[in-house]
Chain A
């Protein structure tokens, strides 16, 4: 019973993402069009006149039947029309696109920080049971999930910025002295390196460190815990005993044999961790005045800028579906048993 070829599995998994995307679209449709109250009033905003509300109702087709509205909605999405923001006056899409790179840079940096700490810690804790590292990891795992992200951020600002002065003021991606590098990817770290501007690179990095660490700390706990648990389980399994009995060098046993197998449950957990990361992104952006889509959504919420908020929710959801898809594809690449009907 060999498994189907990899391209077929990849295709299958991509196709399986479509029901999720459909579900997301339906749910956001319900949120934006089908809830009690007058959606037109929401879109028009709290300061709108009755005329403006009626105008919006016409434009958005809110007086049509629900199924019709759904097709109109899907059509709009396919055209990239997410409405206009009341506060910025731009289309929601352009607002989001402008601000997305900042959020992506923050999330990736946070994830990188998390993984770089969690995986070695988890491996060390598993290979040295009952040592101080093991106990530390266990404490981190339990206490880490209790940390409110916004609180950790503030605490870090207070200690590292106010008391110790080793990080710059949390006022955004760059100090006002600097201007952004020529945009290639939108990620300041990469763009500044591409432009060869090391000073800019360090400036951007020093602004990024604290928010990334804050974001990553929340993900550290579950990742360290699952790494430790997965390594413990794998290290006590039969095939590791065989590998040792064959006299294979300990680095080969630990990394090639044990860790690669432990990667599987770690990747499964990564999917759940992403959910928390994307959510915490919003909080971290608010604390550090980071100009990403999270802080955009927060100001939109406060100003009742309805289209902007819902555009944000849809974008994040699609991003999340995409990330999960990526993880599953990686899983298929690593585990030869994936996709086999048992």
Chain B
């Protein structure tokens, strides 16, 4: 049984997958940067279907730090939602993960029930964790909210009772405190008249209210990380703003890291500290928000930003990105999946496996021909 002390005292992150039989069985790996909350290393994922194997994710590596808001943006089909489901362990049975790790760095006092003896923080590879352990993490340390909030709530149960169910599962609150706590949560997500709404059913509530109920469900146990998968798609613009502001406030108040998944680049730019850009299952660029918008390095990111409608742009200024996502079932996918849509592609892009280039300390791009300073500088003039 490995000594948890050694994990936190390790100065350099070391990859040591086999640290003893029991620990390996529990899915512990001795490597992750202690300041991060969630690290993905070289995660690949495929779906086995009757028409072929879909390589939905390839070599995704990223890191989420406590308290930050990270945006994951990309077209539909880029793999953003799949990535979120993989982290939560909610994938379809047809999904298969050939390689990679999802390391959850559990802060002190947040252990799954078995670990209560140890007060030290520990790291778990979520991919190797048992379903039982995952269930203890989900909803308590790691939460997710989804699109279409109305259908995401149990239609035949009162919404208040649904919140109580989560509280009962993860906390040790005595029975008579469950409802008051649920009412507090409803109030904290700014639901008017919580007492009446407690007894409401989802079909009686608007989309915005339902989304706030979902948020209440997700933050009920003050998780360390909240993944929000397109939380405002389908809501009108005013409600969008309310929901996003609410999320931001909660994140600050509870020091919760947030991952915002969206196809709306403008939305991400407004609320995220950092942005990760995905394309066809690849993570192609990662940078702080302002850097990304002022000096995007990947040609795709550049085109995405150019395609954002703005009041001063005329219709002819909106340049669509030509082409489509490649068919991810093909056996002969090129190393860079943007090749067919890229103006700067060369033979090197076709032959050499992609590698991440570090442009600055916090700006990475997966491209052999990242936009040079002069090209990036042009962004400021537009």
Contacts and interface: CB of A to CB of B under 8 A. Distances in A.
Band of interface residues on B:
20 to 34
A249 B218 CA distance: 16
A334 interface: yes
B135 A249 contact: yes
Interface in A113-151: 129
A335 B90 CA distance: 28
Given A244-B138, A337-B201, A239 B169 contact: no
Interface of A: 1-2, 129, 237-239, 241-250, 252, 256-257, 260-261, 264, 334-337, 340
Max chain B Cβ within 10 angstroms of own Cβ: one of A241, A244, A247: A247
Contact of A336 (B135, B151, B156, B169): B156
Given A249-B135, A337-B201, A244 B154 contact: no
Interface of B: 88, 90, 93, 131, 134-140, 143-144, 146, 148, 151-157, 165-166, 169-170, 201, 203-204, 214, 217-218
Given A247-B138, A337-B203, A241 B169 contact: no
Nearest to B138: A247
Contacts of B201: 336-337
Contacts of A241: 90, 146, 152
Contacts of B214: 242
Q: Looking at chain A's contact residues, is the secondary structure mostly helix, strand, loop, or mixed?
A: helix
A120 to B, nearest CB: 21
A241 B229 CA distance: 13
Contact of A335 (B131, B156, B169): B156
A32 B258 CA distance: 74
A237 B151 contact: yes
Given A2-B204, A237-B151, A242-B217, A248 B156 contact: no
B154 A257 contact: yes
A139 B143 CA distance: 41
Contacts of A256: 165
B90 A244 contact: yes
B154 A243 contact: yes
A134 to B, nearest CB: 13
Max chain A Cβ within 10 angstroms of own Cβ: one of B140, B156, B170: B156
A239 B143 contact: no
A261 B140 CA distance: 25
Contact of B138 (A237, A246, A260, A335): A246
B143 A246 contact: yes
A336 B155 CA distance: 8
A132 B204 CA distance: 42
Given A239-B153, A335-B156, A337-B156, 5 more contacts: A244-B90, A247-B137, A248-B166, A250-B131, A257-B157
Given A246-B217, A336-B156, A238 B169 contact: no
